């Protein structure tokens, strides 16, 4: 199972193009993507127009750009569209000739620079070792050397050099940035499986670089190429403007040079200096727009909306807005400590009803969680199991209202029982109410503490800011004492409050994460795969800690994992998710002994039990459904060994299934529908057919 945050992975698999896989970013895909964004397309078109003008410029220009005439310093007119210079030279003709010189330098310098960058960057990244050290040092040195002064010096020693000299000078001073980026990229690609595999099979180095490494860097190389074109045109213009190039050769910079030395400003001849600067700026903007497109291609996160926007707020809950009530700021009502949880408990703390979360992409809405209902009782541990992509993490984020566009909660209620006994819909809370509710009542422990703790804030600070935000009356000393207490609860030495996350071991980080979660004594803790990233021994320690704390502090837990055996051990109730729906829910014990849904049976059959007799692990054939194209009827039907005709057409709701011991499970399977289906296949399937753990 992927270690990246599941919600992100889910968001990417359901977005319009599955570009979460950086493994294959080919040139064709890049171009297709670029053509789709209007801004990028505009940039491409403008760039192309300039290119065409640069090629045909000298043929279509109305005059010889250097030819003097009597029309000195004439404003734009029909004869001279862009006016004339002091000597009566036609500025439009100069611009057209200049386009060729400027574009030639821009593209020429970009080609040479890019070749240098790729050579140095890829070599350094690929060979590693001493060669890498030397090349990296060289690149870093060139990176901090101020390039324009160096360019000026070099250009000054090549007096009146033509375009070729300028191209060389710009390339020599400009290759370092691209080389550094490409080196980093090559380093990370080199560690990828497909490159390692190619190396292991004895593939020739240059073939690996050409076939496996370079194609994956097309986007970065293109970005650096376009950036250099802009930079080179600007540099050339600066050099020409300073009179360091051959000032008799027309380029946009030379036009500005002559305008400046002829004091065009003072004579008010704006037409002399406006066109050239505008041309450079427009071309530069166009190239940057194309580059933004490439940036968004490289980094898909750039396409998401920020969390400060209204749109993002809507994304968190699009259901309804309630009229805002006055916030009560009185002393919080503390609820009495609850009795230990039993199966018969009816003391509901969180009631989720018909929840639906969709990923919205244009007109397409892909449900990641649909029609999910469950009740969490005080002190209960609700385990939610499922494969990746089953919607379990999406569900966790929905309960905490942490979704960002494109995810959207489109339906349902999340009713929380307040300490005074009344209920409140979490989805209807406004910003302030939500801030009060968060952490005070419900906290969340993420899968990877490495990513969930801010790497540049001390552990203590990350606990303290919760207290500052929610308990404004506590003073610094009380807060410090509370931090020490919390760290003590999870077994972290008090002096570690001053440590940064990277200074802690993996297990300690995760415990720190739990300490953050406990900071305000919440009623509910949502744990999203809290131990997945840890090794088995540490995992066990953490789980034991959680269970011990739960018994001592009396909070309820929503525990999400794909690890079914772990879940059976620690949960009171288990819900199994498949294709965004809960397909089976029941007491852990009943679930373990008599799983009712064929999918649950398959899941149980693919995990070894901790105790009990040895048996063959069977697993489930096929793969999880694509949420964009869910099969009709029951989502599990294509993989189900017990599927019958009706399964392909009818979507099963959750049916009550009474076990022999009096326990009651719910299963979304037509096998358990009243009447009809039972005749076609027995509800109590023979255990031999689908091996399940019989005893514990």
Chain positions 375 to 414 lying near another protein, rule: CB under 8 A, are: 400, 402, 404-405
What is the chain's Cα-based Rg?
Answer: 33
Cα separation of 383 and 364, whole Å? 31
Q: Is residue 295 involved in binding another protein (CB under 8 A)? A: yes
Residues 66, 288, 410, 565: which binds another protein (CB under 8 A)?
288
Instruction: Characterize the bridge pairing of strands 664-667 and 581-587.
Output: antiparallel
Q: Is residue 130 involved in binding another protein (CB under 8 A)? A: no
CB 24, min distance to another protein, A? 22
CB atoms within 10 A of CB 431: 10
CB 28, min distance to another protein, A? 25
Distances from the Cα of 346 to the Cα of 8, 221, 373, angstroms = 35, 62, 16
Applying CB under 8 A, the site for another protein has a residue count of 94
166 or 213: whose CB is closer to another protein? 166
Site for another protein in 441-480 (CB under 8 A): 443-444, 446, 448, 451-457, 465-466, 469-470
CB 288, min distance to another protein, A? 5
Cross-strand pairs, 443: 525
Quick one: tokens of 362? 């244009």
Residues 35, 45, 148, 333: which binds another protein (CB under 8 A)?
148
437 or 599: whose CB is closer to another protein? 437
Residues 302, 339, 364, 648: which binds another protein (CB under 8 A)?
302
Q: Is residue 632 involved in binding another protein (CB under 8 A)? A: no
Q: Is residue 487 involved in binding another protein (CB under 8 A)? A: no
Please choose, out of 282-290, 412-420, 422-430, 609-617, the segment that lies near another protein by the rule CB under 8 A: 282-290
310 or 473: whose CB is closer to another protein? 310
Residues 119, 305, 538, 681: which binds another protein (CB under 8 A)?
305
Q: Is residue 140 involved in binding another protein (CB under 8 A)? A: yes
Q: Please give the backbone phi and psi of residue 318, each rounded to the nearest 5 degrees, phi first.
A: -100, 10
Q: Is residue 243 involved in binding another protein (CB under 8 A)? A: yes
Site for another protein in 492-551 (CB under 8 A): 500, 502, 516
Residues 440, 464, 589, 590: which binds another protein (CB under 8 A)?
440
Site for another protein in 306-325 (CB under 8 A): 306-312
CB 564, min distance to another protein, A? 25
CB 148, min distance to another protein, A? 3
Q: Is residue 617 involved in binding another protein (CB under 8 A)? A: no
Instruction: Characterize the bridge pairing of strands 442-445 and 364-377.
Output: unpaired
56 or 265: whose CB is closer to another protein? 265
Using alpha carbons only, give the angle 613, 617, 623 rounded to the nearest 5 degrees: 150
138 or 691: whose CB is closer to another protein? 138
CB atoms within 10 A of CB 389: 25
12 or 64: whose CB is closer to another protein? 12
**SS3 assignment, position 324:** coil
69 or 260: whose CB is closer to another protein? 260
- Start-end of H helices in 175-319: 176-190, 193-200, 205-208, 218-241, 252-261, 270-298, 310-316
Site for another protein in 150-169 (CB under 8 A): 150, 152-154, 156-159
CB 365, min distance to another protein, A? 18
CB 274, min distance to another protein, A? 8
Site for another protein in 183-242 (CB under 8 A): 230, 234-235, 237-238, 241-242
Cα separation of 123 and 223, whole Å? 19
Q: Is residue 1 involved in binding another protein (CB under 8 A)? A: no
292 or 607: whose CB is closer to another protein? 292
Q: In what order do the strands lie in the sheet with 364-377?
A: 364-377, 348-361, 407-417, 423-425
CB 21, min distance to another protein, A? 17
Cα separation of 230 and 227, whole Å? 5
104 or 259: whose CB is closer to another protein? 259
String of DSSP letters for 370-430 = EEEEEEEETT-EEEEE--TTSSHHHHHHHHTT---TTEEEEEEEEEEE-TTS-EEEGGG--
619 near 639, Cβ under 8 Å?
no
19 or 295: whose CB is closer to another protein? 295
**SS3 assignment, position 573:** strand
88 near 70, Cβ under 8 Å?
yes
Show the beta-strand stretches assigned E in 486-604. Answer: 524-528, 556-561, 573-578, 581-587
String of DSSP letters for 123-140 = HHHHH-HHHHHHHHHHHH
CB burial of residue 31 (10 Å; 0-12, 13-18, 19+): middle
**SS3 assignment, position 656:** strand
Q: Which residues contact 558 (CB under 8 A, 6 or more apart)?
A: 350, 376, 382, 384, 396, 399, 524, 525, 526, 527
Cross-strand pairs, 576: 385, 584
Site for another protein in 32-91 (CB under 8 A): 39
217 or 400: whose CB is closer to another protein? 400
Cα separation of 337 and 466, whole Å? 23
CB 242, min distance to another protein, A? 5
255 or 355: whose CB is closer to another protein? 255
615 near 654, Cβ under 8 Å?
no
CB 397, min distance to another protein, A? 8
CB 13, min distance to another protein, A? 16
Please choose, out of 15-23, 147-155, 479-487, 553-561, the segment that lies near another protein by the rule CB under 8 A: 147-155
Q: Is residue 181 involved in binding another protein (CB under 8 A)? A: no
Cross-strand pairs, 382: 558, 573
Q: Is residue 270 involved in binding another protein (CB under 8 A)? A: yes
Quick one: tokens of 460? 């203590």
Please choose, out of 121-129, 271-279, 331-339, 559-567, the segment that lies near another protein by the rule CB under 8 A: 271-279
30 or 282: whose CB is closer to another protein? 282
- Start-end of H helices in 471-527: 476-489, 506-518
Residues 58, 277, 506, 554: which binds another protein (CB under 8 A)?
277
Q: Is residue 2 involved in binding another protein (CB under 8 A)? A: no
Q: Which residues contact 295 (CB under 8 A, 6 or more apart)?
A: 223, 302
Site for another protein in 548-577 (CB under 8 A): none
Please choose, out of 64-72, 83-91, 322-330, 434-442, the segment that lies near another protein by the rule CB under 8 A: 434-442
């Amino acid at each position: 199972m992927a270690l990246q945050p599941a919600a992100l992975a889910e968001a990417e698999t359901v977005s319009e193009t599955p570009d979460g896989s950086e493994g294959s970013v080919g040139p064709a895909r890049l171009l297709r993507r670029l053509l789709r964004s209007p801004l990028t397309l505009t940039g491409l078109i403008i760039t192309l127009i300039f290119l065409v003008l640069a090629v045909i410029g000298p043929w279509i220009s109305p005059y010889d750009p250097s030819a003097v005439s009597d029309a000195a310093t004439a404003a734009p007119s029909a004869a001279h569209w862009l006016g004339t210079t002091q000597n009566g030279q036609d500025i439009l003709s100069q611009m057209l000739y200049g386009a060729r010189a400027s574009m030639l330098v821009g593209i020429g310098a970009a080609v040479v620079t890019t070749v240098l960058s790729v050579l140095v960057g890829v070599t350094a990244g690929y060979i590693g070792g001493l060669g890498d050290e030397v090349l990296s040092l060289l690149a870093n040195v060139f990176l901090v050397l101020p390039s324009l002064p160096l360019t000026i010096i070099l250009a000054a020693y090549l007096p009146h050099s033509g375009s070729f000299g300028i191209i060389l000078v710009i390339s020599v001073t400009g290759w370092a940035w691209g080389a550094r980026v490409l080196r980093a990229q090559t380093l990370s690609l080199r560690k990828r499986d497909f490159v390692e595999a190619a190396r292991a099979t004895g593939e020739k180095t240059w073939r690996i670089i050409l076939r496996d490494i370079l194609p994956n860097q097309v986007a970065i190389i293109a970005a650096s190429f376009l950036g250099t074109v802009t930079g080179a045109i600007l540099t050339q213009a600066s050099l020409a403007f300073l009179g360091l190039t051959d000032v008799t050769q027309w380029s946009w910079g030379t036009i500005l040079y002559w305008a400046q030395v002829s004091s065009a400003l003072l004579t008010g001849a704006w037409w002399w200096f406006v066109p050239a600067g505008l041309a450079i700026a427009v071309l530069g903007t166009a190239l940057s727009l194309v580059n933004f497109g490439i940036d968004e291609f490289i980094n898909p996160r750039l396409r998401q909306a920020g969390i400060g926007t209204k749109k993002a707020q809507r994304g968190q809950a699009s259901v309804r807005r309630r009229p805002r009530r006055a916030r009560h700021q009185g002393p919080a009502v503390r609820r009495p400590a609850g009795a230990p949880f039993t199966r018969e408990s009816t003391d509901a703390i969180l009631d989720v009803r018909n929840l639906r979360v969709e990923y919205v992409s244009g007109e397409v809405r892909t449900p990641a969680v649909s029609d999910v209902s469950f009740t969490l009782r005080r002190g209960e541990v609700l385990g939610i199991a499922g494969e990746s992509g089953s919607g379990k993490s999406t569900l966790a984020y929905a309960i905490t209202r942490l979704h960002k566009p494109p995810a959207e909660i489109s339906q349902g209620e999340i009713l929380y029982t307040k300490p005074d006994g009344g209920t409140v819909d979490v989805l209807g809370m406004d910003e302030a109410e939500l801030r009060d509710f968060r952490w005070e009542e419900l906290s969340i422990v993420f899968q990877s503490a490495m990513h969930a703790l801010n790497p540049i804030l001390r552990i203590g600070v990350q606990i303290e800011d919760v207290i500052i935000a929610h308990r404004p009356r506590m003073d610094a000393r009380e807060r410090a004492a509370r931090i020490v207490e919390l760290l003590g609860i999870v077994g972290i030495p008090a002096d570690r409050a001053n440590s940064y996350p990277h200074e802690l071991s993996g297990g300690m980080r995760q415990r720190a994460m739990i300490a953050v979660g406990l900071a305000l004594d919440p009623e509910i803790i949502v744990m999203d795969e809290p131990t997945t990233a840890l090794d088995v021994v540490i995992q066990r320690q953490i789980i034991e800690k959680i269970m011990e704390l739960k018994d001592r502090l009396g909070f309820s837990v929503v525990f999400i994992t794909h690890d079914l055996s772990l879940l059976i051990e620690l949960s009171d109730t288990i819900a199994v998710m498949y294709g965004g729906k809960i397909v089976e829910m029941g007491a852990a014990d009943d679930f373990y002994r008599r799983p009712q849904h064929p999918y649950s049976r398959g899941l149980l059959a693919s995990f070894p039990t901790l105790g009990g007799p040895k048996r063959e692990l069977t697993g489930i054939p096929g793969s999880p459904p694509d949420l964009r194209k869910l099969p009709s009827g029951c989502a599990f039907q294509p993989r189900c060994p017990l599927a019958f005709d009706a399964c392909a057409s009818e979507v099963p709701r959750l049916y009550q299934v009474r076990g022999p011991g009096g326990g009651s499970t719910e299963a979304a399977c037509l096998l358990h529908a009243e009447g009809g289906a039972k005749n076609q296949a027995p509800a109590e399937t023979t255990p031999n057919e689908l091996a399940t753990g019989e005893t514990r």
